[in-house]
Structure 1
């Protein structure tokens, strides 16, 4: 049992070691979804999830992956707009990708 646990731990560490997304020592571009259906994150439909303290978090779900980004003002402080009650969401964030405007 101990050998199986050690092998599983080593395998999981090796799997996570490949998750480093750096290019030349700098972080990779985090605005691009690198999944099977890769796209720029601006093409997703975003909504707002209100955390238990009442502050907003941008949220998007494209079916396979989900994204959450703290909503901040221009000074870096959290935005607490009151758009929804705490722990609720607002917006159609489960819509996946938006259809690009042909114009």
Structure 2
């Protein structure tokens, strides 16, 4: 099993999640982060760290974001691993 970064990360790209990941399975794209499905150990450490609630267990991923499972798999193969916190692209939206 794995976790998936979904739509809420797009354009924000918070990196609070990467610093708590024990296996360095996050990858940085231009507009968002991705989780490598073969590297994620399903520890859930990243989930409460995401201020925009963009990380879901693949079994709990909202149906409108199902395509993000494959997107994370594909993009994590193309992008560079990220292990340190960086400045986000945007502040979280007030709900």
TM-score (norm 2): 0.25
Greater length-normalized contact order (CA 8 Å, ≥ 6 residues apart): 2
- Determine which structure has the larger helix proportion and give its number: 2
- Determine which structure has the larger strand proportion and give its number: 1
Tell me which structure has the larger Cα radius of gyration.
1
